[in-house]
């Protein structure tokens, strides 16, 4: 029996190449895990009926010796990434019956690489949330402790990998939506530099913040997927041609902004973080205290800019052009009835907030000011990276919380992203790494940030941390 929960892509790739297993074997194990547990955990919104067909094709390619590192690997896709001819709902009633008319750039890349797309995973509605509880199709449970959330908004993709229902998984980030579920499910999560991976073909949330991002059981697995999905795409003018060759194993200085940890960091998270810092110190890394006064406002800036972009991006879902349509006596009523019925409460909250900060009379006070602070945060990060190679923080201030918790307190939910926000606001890459467990055996995690396009440095330090942790 294949131990799929502990099998990495790298190992599976070797086994496929030397004929020890076939893609059909790997996909069959994932499908039987889905069959056994998906009803309870609610991870997949749809399992693709042609997954085994795709696996057979991949096996043919492998036989000819033309396979690559992802050929035949079953991969779970977050339900806000377009796959031509398949449904894509962003876990919203608004798009429940919507079918994608083209492939997202990353999907094209994954198909070219011969990966097996196994299904689409549950998420917070339109990626708004930190727990996968705002999905219109029910909550996803954390496979490690089903009384808890898997994190969000890419909770379904993280849970699929953690539960052995796929060997790889893709999510999206606007502010921590891959790093946070990676932390709650004991996985690696990479948030690439803004522009490193094309956003063409994702259902936009906050366009100046959104990123497609891979999960991995280890750093190498996240790196393999990143290498395949990154690169310039004509359909996204913010994507870049290539990742510069910036790798150097001499990068050793780590800055820690302890002043950002003032509020609400769980005791065991803090203890684990300090132990991780000691291990890095004992292995030759230089640790320095840094001050990031503007980064303190990252989350506040995020909750102005993101809703503004949400209100604009979601205006196309009007019941006429796309999505659910509810009748009305005139066109305004059609808009109102369709949007009232199609959107859930969190989505409505953000549309209202975004419309407010963009409205005449408030634009300067909120939106414009937030952009100025965003620029100050970008400059602050740029400057600090002249002194240090990495910034280190816990990934999330708390471990996975109970289902139902924080649902009636949006601000408490928003605070989960306190350490995620600077990387999205500043456009820099960051990686979440498992760093141990707490007394309840729940996974804990630390995150490194690096200068733009220094993903290779993150992989290098991540692999080092895997060795010493
Ligand atoms: N928790 C964040 C939010 O609710 C994350 C969103 C995201 O990264 N997609 O906005």
Q: Is the pLDDT of residue 228 over 90?
A: yes
Q: Which phi-psi region, left, alpha or beta, contains residue 223 (left: φ > 0; alpha: ψ -120 to 50)?
A: alpha
Specify if 160 maps to a domain: yes
Q: What is the mean pLDDT of residues 90-113?
A: 98
Mean pLDDT of the chain: 95
The whole-model pTM stands at: 0.97
350-381 pLDDT, tens digit each: 999 999 999 999 999 999 999 999 999 999 99
189-211 pLDDT, tens digit each: 999 999 999 999 999 999 999 99
What is the gyration radius of the CA atoms in the chain, in angstroms?
21
Our answer on whether the CB atom of 307 is closer than 6 Å to any ligand 1 atom is no
Our answer on whether the CB atom of 153 is closer than 6 Å to any ligand 1 atom is yes
177 is catalytic: yes
CA dihedral 150, 154, 156, 157 (to 10 degrees): -110
Specify if 344 maps to a domain: no
43's CB contacts (< 8 A; 6+ apart) are 34, 37, 76, 121, 122, 140, 143, 156, 159, 160, 163, 165
Our answer on whether the CB atom of 125 is closer than 6 Å to any ligand 1 atom is no
Going from the Cα of 154 to the center of ligand 1, the distance in angstroms, rounded, reads 9
The span from the CA of 229 to the CA of 208, in Å, is 19
CATH at residue 42 = 3.90.1300.10
Q: What is the mean pLDDT of residues 30-37?
A: 98
Give the confidence band of 246 by pLDDT, cuts at 50, 70, 90. Answer: low
Specify if 155 maps to a domain: yes
Reading the block at residue 142, the tokens are: 């954390």
298 is catalytic: no
Give the confidence band of 242 by pLDDT, cuts at 50, 70, 90. Answer: low
Specify if 452 maps to a domain: no
156-187 pLDDT, tens digit each: 999 999 999 999 999 999 999 999 999 999 99
Q: What is the mean pLDDT of residues 94-122?
A: 98
Ligand 1 nearest atom to the CA of residue 346, by list position: 4
Q: Which of 80, 126, 153, 415 to mutate to test the pocket of ligand 1 (most atoms within 8 A of CB)?
A: 153
Atom 4 of ligand 1: nearest residue by CA position: 129
Specify if 198 maps to a domain: yes
Counting residues of the chain whose pLDDT is more than 70, the rounded percentage is 98
Q: Is the pLDDT of residue 233 over 80?
A: yes
Q: Which of 258-262, 304-308, 463-467 has the lowest mean pLDDT?
A: 258-262
User: Would you state the pLDDT for residue 248?
Assistant: 65
Residue 282: CB atoms within 10 A of its CB come to 9
Counting residues of the chain whose pLDDT is more than 90, the rounded percentage is 92
The span from the CA of 213 to the CA of 228, in Å, is 12
| Structural domain count of the chain | 1
Specify if 460 maps to a domain: no
Specify if 101 maps to a domain: yes
Per-residue 3-state assignment (H helix, E strand, C coil) for 355-411: HHHHCCCCCHHHHHHHHHHHHHHHHHHHHHHHHCCEEEEECCCCCCCECCCCCCCHH
Ligand 1 nearest atom to the CA of residue 129, by list position: 4
78 is catalytic: yes
User: Would you state the pLDDT for residue 16?
Assistant: 97
Specify if 319 maps to a domain: no
Our answer on whether the CB atom of 173 is closer than 6 Å to any ligand 1 atom is yes
Residue 402: CB atoms within 10 A of its CB come to 12
User: Would you state the pLDDT for residue 97?
Assistant: 95
Domain that holds residue 178: 9-229
SS3 (DSSP) at 148: strand
User: Would you state the pLDDT for residue 164?
Assistant: 98
Going from the Cα of 261 to the center of ligand 1, the distance in angstroms, rounded, reads 20
Per-residue 3-state assignment (H helix, E strand, C coil) for 289-348: ECCCCCHHHHHHHHHHHHHHHHHHHHHHCCCCCCCCCCCCCCHHHHHHHHHHHHCCHHHH
Give the confidence band of 249 by pLDDT, cuts at 50, 70, 90. Answer: low
């Amino acid at each position: 029996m294949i131990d799929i929960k502990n099998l990495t892509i790298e190992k599976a790739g070797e086994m496929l190449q030397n004929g020890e297993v076939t893609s059909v074997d790997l996909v069959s194990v994932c499908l039987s895990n889905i069959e056994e547990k998906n009803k309870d955990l609610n991870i997949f919104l749809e399992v693709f009926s042609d997954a085994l067909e795709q696996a057979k094709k991949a096996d043919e390619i492998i036989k000819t010796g033309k396979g690559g590192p992802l050929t035949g690997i079953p991969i779970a896709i977050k339900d806000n990434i377009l796959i031509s001819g398949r449904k894509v709902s962003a876990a919203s009633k608004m798009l429940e019956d919507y079918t994608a008319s083209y492939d997202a750039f990353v999907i094209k890349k994954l198909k070219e690489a011969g990966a097996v797309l196994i299904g689409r995973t549950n998420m917070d509605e339109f990626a708004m949330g930190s727990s996968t509880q705002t999905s219109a199709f029910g909550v996803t449970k954390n496979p490690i402790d089903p009384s808890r959330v898997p994190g969000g908004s890419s909770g379904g993709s993280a849970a699929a990998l953690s539960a052995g229902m796929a060997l790889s998984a893709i999510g999206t980030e606007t502010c921590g939506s891959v790093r946070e579920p990676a932390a709650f499910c004991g996985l690696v999560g990479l948030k690439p530099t803004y522009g490193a991976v094309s956003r063409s073909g994702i259902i936009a949330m906050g366009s100046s913040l959104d990123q497609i991002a891979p999960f991995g059981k280890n750093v190498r697995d996240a790196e393999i997927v990143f290498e395949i999905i990154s690169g310039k795409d004509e359909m996204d003018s913010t994507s870049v041609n290539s990742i510069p060759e910036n790798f150097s194993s001499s990068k050793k200085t780590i800055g820690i902004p302890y002043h950002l940890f003032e509020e609400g960091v769980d005791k065991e998270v803090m203890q684990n973080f300090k132990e991780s810092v000691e291990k890095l110190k004992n292995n030759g890394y230089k640790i320095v205290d840094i001050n990031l006064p503007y980064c303190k406002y990252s989350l506040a800036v995020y909750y102005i800019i993101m809703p503004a972009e949400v209100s604009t991006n979601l205006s196309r879902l009007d019941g006429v052009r796309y999505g659910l349509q509810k009748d009305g006596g005139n066109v305004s009523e059609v808009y109102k009835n369709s949007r009232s019925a199609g959107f859930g409460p969190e989505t409505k909250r953000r549309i209202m907030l975004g419309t407010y900060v963009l409205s005449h009379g408030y634009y300067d006070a909120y939106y414009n000011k937030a952009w100025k602070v965003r620029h100050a945060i970008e400059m602050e990060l740029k400057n600090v990276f002249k002194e240090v190679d990495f910034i280190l923080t816990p990934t999330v201030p708390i471990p996975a919380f109970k289902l139902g918790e924080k649902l009636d307190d949006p601000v408490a939910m928003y605070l989960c992203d306190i350490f995620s926000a600077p990387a999205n606001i500043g456009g820099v890459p960051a990686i979440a790494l498992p760093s141990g467990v707490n007394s309840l055996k729940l996974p804990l995690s630390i995150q490194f940030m690096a200068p733009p396009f220094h993903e290779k440095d993150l992989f290098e330090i991540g692999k080092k941390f895997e060795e010493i942790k």
